[in-house]
Amino acid sequence: MEYLDFRSDTVTMPTEEMRRAMASAVVGDDVYGDDPTVNELQEYAAKLTGMEAALYVCSGTMGNLVSLMSHCARGEGVLMGVNSHTWKNEAGNAAFIAGVMPYPLDDSSGLPGEESIKSSYQPKGNIHYANTVLLVLENTHNSAGGLPAEAGPFARAASLAHDMDMKVHIDGARIFDAVAFFGNDVKDYTRAADSVQICLSKGLGAPMGSIVCGNRDFIDRARKYRKSLGGGQRQSGIAAAAGLIALRDMRDRLSEDHENAALMADLLLEYGFDVEYVPRRTNMVYFRAGEKFGDADSLIRQCRGKGLLIGSAGAGRIRMVTHLGLDGDSVRNAAAILKDIDA
Ligand SMILES: Cc1ncc(COP(=O)(O)O)c(C=O)c1O
């Protein structure tokens, strides 16, 4: 059966252009810094984000982890949202690999508020606490429904952290969704921060890889941590060739995903689903099966039987994500399948 796959924007297949670029990529040993395609991708990313340097890594999780390790010493504290990917979905690596102490922030509406940042902050000098040296901001915020942060409030949160002598890392897995949504520049976010991790393998459509950007010292440290985690790869220009196309040419298409997600949300609402409305959305729709359709697991199972894949987000929440492999007709067909599910 051919499935309509709405589980995630990570399920996309590389485009023909990406496959051609991968086949003909000029490569070298990247652990020696000798892969011209990886170097080109890193230089392009650094320029795009306005940062000094960049590092190609295997995944978003590795990008966030090497960033935590490069900003913090073991035993130091990091502020992050309790609904953030770094807190919930990276297998506890902040604690058990980086050895840092995560402090929870209220990020129920995406960007953590000033009060939350201030009250979780632990200054240097008190021997009872892991002093907080880093704030992580996720943009767009996955669990908050793909919520993009506006540049103004984002910069204010970052500047508050800087005033308190903390660095700021952006988990920008989908930062270009925020950029496409507001029509602003990625530098509106990156200039407020010390580092950013950007996934190439989500809405941008590359088969793998993320890019981390920051200043040269930070990237030098991150390169060493990448190596220690087993992420130093050899002729990785094969993959970076697709990553370069993703970062260079696929950013503008993200607004199509947003239109499709908005259509999905409207249709789900029309058919009686309990759609989580957040003030602004990008490429995700979260909803509950609601009274009409019973429990989430049964809905997900029935949809699979009819050729539609949707994702469980835990606690009865269901997530649908639009992407490169889905268009308006895919959305209408998916909605028709959902409408016909027996409660
Ligand atoms: C916000 C966010 N950050 C980081 C990641 C991690 O990316 P990866 O799956 O490439 O490790 C994800 C993955 O979905 C994500 O949604």
- Count of structural domains within the chain: 2
Domain that holds residue 152: 16-250
Sheet-wide strand order for 167-171: 53-57, 210-214, 195-199, 167-171, 132-138, 77-81, 101-105
Same domain, 39 and 164: yes
Domain stops at, among 250, 285, 311: 250
The residue whose CA is least distant from atom 13 of ligand 1 is 60
Close Cβ partners of 268 (under 8 Å, ≥ 6 residues apart)? 275, 285, 287, 335, 338
* Residue 77 CA neighbour count, 13 Å, CB half: 19
Same domain, 48 and 181: yes
Which candidate, 236, 215, 195, places its Cα nearest to that of 22? 236
Same domain, 75 and 125: yes
CATH for 295? 3.90.1150.10
Ligand 1 first shell, C-beta below 6 A: 59-61, 64, 85, 138, 142, 171, 173, 199, 201, 210
Same domain, 135 and 220: yes
Same domain, 276 and 244: no
Three-state DSSP class for residue 328: helix
The residue whose CA is least distant from atom 16 of ligand 1 is 142
- Contact (CB, 8 A) for 176 and 254: yes
Q: Are strands 195-199 and 210-214 parallel, antiparallel or unpaired?
A: antiparallel
**From CA 144, how far away is CA 57, in angstroms rounded?**
26
> 70 alpha carbon to ligand 1 midpoint, in Å?
19
Same domain, 201 and 179: yes
Determine the residue of 85, 137, 197, 201 to mutate for testing ligand 1's pocket, defined as the one with the most ligand atoms within 8 A of the Cβ atom: 85
> 343 alpha carbon to ligand 1 midpoint, in Å?
33
Q: How far is CA 228 from CA 15, 69, 129, in A?
A: 32, 11, 28
Per-residue pLDDT 10s for the chain (343 aa) are 899 999 999 999 999 999 999 999 999 999 999 999 999 999 999 999 999 999 999 999 999 999 999 999 999 999 999 999 999 999 999 999 999 999 999 999 899 999 999 999 999 888 999 999 999 999 999 999 999 999 999 999 999 999 999 999 999 999 999 999 999 999 999 999 999 999 999 999 999 999 999 999 999 999 999 999 999 999 999 999 999 999 999 999 999 999 999 999 999 999 989 999 776 689 999 999 877 777 899 999 999 999 999 999 988 899 999 999 999 999 999 999 999 987 6
Same domain, 27 and 70: yes
Same domain, 290 and 188: no
**From CA 178, how far away is CA 160, in angstroms rounded?**
21
Hunting for tokens 């947003």 — which residue is that? Answer: 258
Hunting for tokens 């989908």 — which residue is that? Answer: 174
Domain stops at, among 250, 281, 297: 250
- Indicate whether this model's pTM tops 0.95: yes
> 90 alpha carbon to ligand 1 midpoint, in Å?
8
